[in-house]
Amino acid sequence: MTTTIQIQEDTLVFLKQMRESFALPSYDSLIKVLLQKAMHPSQSLWGKAGKLSMQEVLKDMRDKSDRY
């Protein structure tokens, strides 16, 4: 089934560049790739601090000099 959608000219330019950079044959395949990437992030931010204690994480967040 073929469907027509309206997009702005700058969006079309961006999609063309993305399609060429991914070496995909169609905009449909590009949209599917982008949707998959958006729905399944490659890496979670959960646990990025490692196994640090809360005090270690917050240690240098604020200096005493910036308090009023």
Q: Could you please report the per-residue DSSP string of 24-40?
A: -S-HHHHHHHHHHHHHS
**pTM exceeding 0.75:** no
pLDDT digits (tens, 9 = 90+) for 35-60: 998 887 666 666 665 677 777 777 77
CA 50, 55, 58: angle at the middle one, nearest 5?
80
Q: Label residue 61 by pLDDT band (50, 70, 90).
A: confident
Q: Percent of the chain having pLDDT more than 70?
A: 75
Residue 21 pLDDT: 94
**Separation of alpha carbons 29 and 38, rounded Å:** 14
Helices (H) and strands (E) in the chain, counts: 3, 0
**Separation of alpha carbons 3 and 23, rounded Å:** 22
Residue 5 pLDDT: 92
Contacts of 27 by beta carbon, 8 Å cutoff, 6+ apart:
15, 19
Domain boundaries, the chain: 7-41
